[in-house]
Each structure stands twice: as C-alpha cells, then as structure tokens.
Amino acid sequence: MRCALPRPHRPAARIAAACPLLVPLLVLVLVLPGCGTATGSDSIAGRDALVVGVKADQPGLGLRGPDGTFSGFEVEVGRYIARRVGAARVGFRAVTSENRERMLEEGQVDLVLASYSITADRSRQVTFGGPYYVAHQDIMVRRSDTAIRTIRDLTGRRMCQAAGSVSTERVVEGLGVRPRLVPAPSYAACVDRLLSGDLDAVSTGDLVLAGFAARARASLRIVNAPFTEERYGVGLRKGDLDGCEAVNTAITQMYQSGEAARLLRVWFGSTGLKLTESVPEFEGCS
C-alpha cells in the first residue's frame, strides 16, 4: 500500500492513521533542536538543564582556565539567569563572535552571553533578552602612546578588526573614521598584536577592554573617550519569546537585589571604569 505524505495542516491523529510508519520519523523531527520557533515546550524557560555560551578568551567577562572551567562577569550573570529561569544544572561552552548564531541555531548552546551587542541585523537571526549591561565603545592603546586621545585620532592608524565583531563598523561606517584595518580572529589576538607593536589601537566595548587592560597595566591603557553604546544582550534561539520574558525578569531581579552591582564590582571595580548599576532599558521580546 502506498502512503502519500499528508498535507502540513492535517492533524497528527490523521497522519498516524494514514501513515503509521511515519510516526517515529515525525517524533524525531519534532524533537530536533532548532526546528521552527522556540516557544512553549521548546523554550528555555523551566528547562532542567541549560548550556550557556560564553567567551573563553576575554578576561573579566569570560575566560577558560587551564582546568577547563570558565570565570568572569558574563559567566556569573549567565549562571544567575539560568538558575532564575528554572535550570537546576548549568553548563558552559565556548563561543566566538563568528559562531554565536550558528551554535544557538544548532542547539549547541541555549543562551549566549558573550559581549553580544544587540543590533538590527543580529535580531533577524536570534531573539535577544536584556540587555544585561550597557557598555560604551572606547579605545585601548599602548601606555607609551599619547598621540591617540579621541576616535578621530585613529585616522590612518593601525586598528584591529576582530572577526565577527560590529565594533569596527561603528568606527568606519558609523563615524566615518578611516583607520588602517588589521584583521584578527579575536580580541585576544588583537591585544597580543597591540602588545607586540603590530597595531596602534583596539576599539570595542569598555568592559572587554578593561579586562585585558587589567592584566597588562604596565603596558596598556584605555583612552577613556567613549563614543557609542554597546547594549550587551542575552542571545536565544529565534522565536523563544517565553524564554526572553523569563530572562528579562531574571535580569530585573539581579539588579534590584544588588547582585548585578556586586558582580560588576568584583570583576571591574579596580579598573577605574564608571560602572552603571541601574537596570538597563530592555529592548522588548519580539
């Protein structure tokens, strides 16, 4: 007997009656991660175990130690949020600026907290909760360099272009400044090249810069000339509105309880940055 594939709108019971051999296949398709929108039972909200994607090479935000464990402000915020949305078990996995969207879509991670600036282009691919912090883009240079005082001073100078980051676009397209761009796979690589003299400047969110500058106080400094806002959001699979609302509730609780202020001081209190300890204005879940 030939079994014609049912039309998409036919109820599941009719599909099972017409094509019993398709039932295991249909069940498999329904449970595959990343299929359709992540709402209802597919949402992160109330799930027992969650995997949080964080950076592995950004001191102060997300850094993987020799023993494989992760530490940093975004690691702690990710753990707090995951617990608050219902997870009893929380794991961490390294992501990069280039693969964040793919790892969410493929279900390799459930949340991403990785200096993930909320932009219109990214919002077409993922749903953003938050932001959980509003940083400001600034510039980091070698301590001996006194010629770079503002963003305009980057014209003609060698500035790092980290793969997958939007920070370079904010300088070149947003402000019309024309540095000489030097590609690098990550901000950790950017900092190594700045220290070696292959670059003149690194520009991105001040929390990212502060973590690196704290580890090389004798060699690097932040210019302290902020010029944009970096709204760091929690990335979720596209369409997980229930999860987004739960994340926003958790972030609100984190600030109102004083936990956000405590974590900011723990990781950045000694850097000299002016830290914002009030609840950020949320983007809204859509």
Q: What is the reported pTM?
A: 0.80
Q: Burial code of 162-182, b = ≥16 C-beta within 10 A, e = fewer?
A: beebbbbebbbeeeebebeeb
Question: What domains are there in the chain, each with its CATH number?
Answer: 40-134+232-268 (3.40.190.10), 135-229 (3.40.190.10)
Sign, CA dihedral 91-115-245-81, equals positive
Residue in 106, 269, 99 with CA at minimum distance from that of residue 114 = 99
Residue in 139, 144, 138 with CA at minimum distance from that of residue 158 = 139
State residue 69's pLDDT score.
Answer: 97
- Do residues 211 and 64 lie in contact, with contact meaning Cβ atoms separated by under 8 Å? no
State residue 47's pLDDT score.
Answer: 95
State residue 41's pLDDT score.
Answer: 55
State residue 55's pLDDT score.
Answer: 97
Alpha carbon distance 118, 233 (integer Å):
6
CA distances from 167 to 25, 79, 204, 208, 271 (A): 44, 26, 5, 12, 21
Bond preceding residue 8 cis, omega within 30 of 0:
no
Q: What is the DSSP letter of 154?
A: G
Beta bridge partners of 52: 92, 111
Token readout for 243 is: 């999860």
What are the residue ranges in the chain where pLDDT is below 50?
Answer: 1-40
Alpha carbon distance 82, 268 (integer Å):
22
State residue 19's pLDDT score.
Answer: 45
